[in-house]
Amino acid sequence: MTALHRLIRDPRLFWGGLFALTLALSLFAGDLAKDIGAKWVMKFPKPLELPLDKLISAAMKWLLEEAAIGPLSFHAVTRFISALIEAPYLAVRGLLVDGLQRGQGSYAVQILPPLSWIAVTTIFCLLAWRSGRRGLVGLVGACFLYLAVFGRWESAMATLASVLISVPMGVAGGVALGILAFRHPWAERAMRPVLDLMQTVPVFAYLVPILFMFGFGPTAALVATVIYAMPPMVRLTTLALREVPEEVAEAGRMAGCTRRQLLWKCLIPTAMPMLMVGVNQVIMLSLNMVIIASMIGAGGLGYDVLTALRKLDIGGGVEAGVAIVVMAIALDRLSQAEARRVPGTGRGGRLVWIGLAVILATSALGYVLPFVQTYPAGATLTTGTIWAQAIEWININLYDHIEAVKVAILIGLLLPVKGFFLGIPWAWGIVAMGLIGWRMAGWRLGLMALLMTGFIALTGFWPEAMITVYLCGVSVFVAMLIGVPLGIWAGQSDRANTVLSALIDTLQTLPSFVYLIPVVMLFRVGDFSAMIAVVAYSIVPAIRYAAHGIREIDPQMVEAGIVSGCTRRQILWRIKLPLALPSLIVGMNQTVMLALSMLVITALVGTRDLGQQVYMALTKANTGQGIVAGLCVAFIAIMVDRILTAAARGMERGEAGHG
């Protein structure tokens, strides 16, 4: 009894023992089971699997075909929502891409042209000008010129139309729900778990049921985009309203505001800077999702990338990818400038007239001089061949080196880890997760981990889940290995901080889809490519939180170290790193979340994890499978999040290493 007690209390014994046991089981249990003919040890018995996916599929089918409240069928509701979204979308699309048309499809006759490329570029430059920053005008102008010059105009405008429709919807919905949560505690209690789940369920998993309900096309894509981009707005709205100083609310009440006046005249305007941060997030998430949603018919730039990837058209892929990047940067910087704009600065009124004048002038001129209306196809540039040649050159000259590195990492890192995770018998996996959860944060988390892992085994996705864990684990390990030293460097040197901040800001702006392009070009498909893409996408929080952790250290602590005669190395290892550890763990947590979300997208480059299951469900419109596999990913994310949060909290309380 005392021996068991010691085993549990002593952290080294507990974690060492757990790892040794798991390793031993992973190495030998498989062969052992084969010898005694107990196949169920490694493979979850088929008859016991929960046919959850079939149940969900059947339920969805029932919902769509038979469910009704009185005379109002569910199908009618989805049709109504479709129509509600489609009308404004078609209007904006008409404005930007198609022009005003009469008739349908290929018989359509254009009555009025869409906004000319000059007009759109000018409008966005004027928006930039409004913020009063000259540099921004140049940047935005250059971004839109790129889209025109490299022949991406139409796709870019289609994407822009989707963003322009989904952002107001996402913001309005988010603000409304956020206000509800702010006013009524019960609403917040009800919403929090849903929001948690929504932020961890992989993006593809959203697409499957929506595709099923709304059919293939831009409407489904828009619905998915709005749902995906809304949660952060809900959270930020509640938070921003809470952060308004109590005195401001009291001043409003003493002035005799009604509840409504208090909200709209005092609280919301005071919270506006933070709400604008939320708007920026909605814009970026919408763009990210619109790109991904090209798989269910959103069209636009995402579709260009997707077709280029399928055709292995290197130049086309890179240029469309850069177009996405360019658009993301323009929208991000514009919305950030707008968020930072303080009342009483910038320029207003007259700009509207300038904008209108340009629209009218270019539209009129466009009838006479076609190049004013549409950027002439003859004048477009393409760097496609250059990219193709560059990749070809790399493949010819550096192929051996790249291949050597790839094989070394595959054999030295990826395959052993993969073998380790796949070798773990499912039953032990469940027990081990339960133990870890219990050790980190008590029996509640232990039970939750036990149930969630058990759910994964029951669904029959155990091997896929293990591949997800392995790829995610390796990627996070590499991301931390590169990101933490960079972050420490940025935390200690201002110059490094400036450079890395610019890099991080750009990396964070890019839609996840873009990361696949160079990876596939250079490393082709497979686990290694997936790992590189995941690392590139998820490294940002590793760097950011490490730098933050180092910077936040009380300078007196460092001074105490200097006075005690520490060398620089000792100060780093003995003072700074231990103090920054909780921040590092939080960074790792964020890295894991980003890695999981990216991992699902890397299904496109041929991994065999849960993401692949979701992707397959998407192509087959198999709702049940998509939702169940998506839930598995969400459960993994939730478990990791809770365990790492508990670890960071324990460390801040100073329990690290003491047990």
Closer Cβ to another protein, 12 or 260, answer by number: 260
Using CB under 8 A as the binding rule, the residues of this chain from 269 to 288 that contact another protein are 269-270, 272
Among 37, 245, 565, 657, binds another protein (CB under 8 A): 245
Distance CA 184, CA 177 (A): 10
Closer Cβ to another protein, 5 or 260, answer by number: 260
CB of 246 to another protein, least distance (A): 9
Stretch binding another protein (CB under 8 A), from 83-91, 168-176, 302-310, 338-346: 338-346
Stretch binding another protein (CB under 8 A), from 1-9, 336-344, 517-525, 540-548: 336-344
With contact defined as beta carbons under 8 Å apart, do 463 and 423 qualify?
no
Structure tokens at 555: 């300078």
CB of 346 to another protein, least distance (A): 13
Stretch binding another protein (CB under 8 A), from 342-350, 384-392, 446-454, 465-473: 342-350
Burial group, residue 360, by CB count within 10 angstroms (0-12, 13-18, 19+): exposed
Structure tokens at 326: 């360019």
CB of 175 to another protein, least distance (A): 16
CB of 250 to another protein, least distance (A): 5
Distance CA 165, CA 170 (A): 9
CB of 238 to another protein, least distance (A): 20
Closer Cβ to another protein, 97 or 266, answer by number: 266
Burial group, residue 253, by CB count within 10 angstroms (0-12, 13-18, 19+): middle
The closest alpha carbon to 144, from 393, 281, 329, 371, belongs to 329
68-69 and 72-73 strand pairing: antiparallel
CB of 198 to another protein, least distance (A): 31
Count the neighbouring beta carbons within 10 Å of the beta carbon of residue 217: 15
Residue 575 DSSP symbol: I
Using CB under 8 A as the binding rule, the residues of this chain from 519 to 548 that contact another protein are none
CB of 245 to another protein, least distance (A): 7
Closer Cβ to another protein, 37 or 343, answer by number: 343
- Does 344 help bind another protein (rule: CB under 8 A)? yes
The closest alpha carbon to 211, from 621, 509, 625, belongs to 621
Among 265, 341, 551, 608, binds another protein (CB under 8 A): 265
Number of residues in contact with another protein under rule CB under 8 A:
21
Task: Provide the 3-class DSSP secondary structure of residue 152.
Answer: coil
From its phi and psi, is residue 582 left (phi > 0), alpha (psi between -120 and 50) or beta? alpha
With contact defined as beta carbons under 8 Å apart, do 150 and 382 qualify?
yes
The closest alpha carbon to 630, from 296, 212, 204, belongs to 204
CB of 244 to another protein, least distance (A): 10
With contact defined as beta carbons under 8 Å apart, do 337 and 131 qualify?
yes
CB of 126 to another protein, least distance (A): 23
Distance CA 289, CA 203 (A): 8
- Kindly give, in sequence order, each residue whose CB lies less than 8 Å from that of residue 110, ignoring residues fewer than 6 positions away: 98, 99, 100, 101
Using CB under 8 A as the binding rule, the residues of this chain from 453 to 512 that contact another protein are none
Helix residue ranges, H only, 101-202: 117-130, 134-149, 153-183, 185-200
- Does 185 help bind another protein (rule: CB under 8 A)? no
The closest alpha carbon to 221, from 174, 308, 172, 161, belongs to 161
Distance CA 281, CA 509 (A): 10
Closer Cβ to another protein, 269 or 650, answer by number: 269
Q: What are the φ and ψ backbone dihedral angles of 219, each rounded to 5 degrees?
A: -65, -50
Among 75, 253, 574, 649, binds another protein (CB under 8 A): 253
Among 77, 248, 422, 427, binds another protein (CB under 8 A): 248
- Does 256 help bind another protein (rule: CB under 8 A)? yes
Alpha-carbon Rg for the chain, nearest whole angstrom, is 27
Among 73, 101, 199, 261, binds another protein (CB under 8 A): 261
Distance CA 119, CA 203 (A): 34
- Does 254 help bind another protein (rule: CB under 8 A)? yes
- Does 343 help bind another protein (rule: CB under 8 A)? yes
Stretch binding another protein (CB under 8 A), from 170-178, 337-345, 502-510, 628-636: 337-345
CB of 556 to another protein, least distance (A): 26
Reported residue count of the chain is: 659
Task: Provide the 3-class DSSP secondary structure of residue 73.
Answer: strand
Among 247, 400, 494, 554, binds another protein (CB under 8 A): 247
Closer Cβ to another protein, 274 or 496, answer by number: 274
Stretch binding another protein (CB under 8 A), from 11-19, 178-186, 257-265, 455-463: 257-265
Among 255, 381, 557, 560, binds another protein (CB under 8 A): 255
Task: Provide the 3-class DSSP secondary structure of residue 110.
Answer: strand
Stretch binding another protein (CB under 8 A), from 48-56, 246-254, 627-635, 650-658: 246-254
Task: Provide the 3-class DSSP secondary structure of residue 111.
Answer: strand
Q: Is the dihedral of CA 404, 407, 412, 417 positive or negative?
A: positive
Closer Cβ to another protein, 275 or 637, answer by number: 275
Stretch binding another protein (CB under 8 A), from 84-92, 240-248, 282-290, 292-300: 240-248
Stretch binding another protein (CB under 8 A), from 32-40, 158-166, 339-347, 523-531: 339-347
Stretch binding another protein (CB under 8 A), from 102-110, 129-137, 259-267, 459-467: 259-267
- Does 76 help bind another protein (rule: CB under 8 A)? no
Closer Cβ to another protein, 258 or 380, answer by number: 258
Binding site for another protein (CB under 8 A): 245, 247-248, 250-258, 261, 265-266, 269-270, 272, 342-344
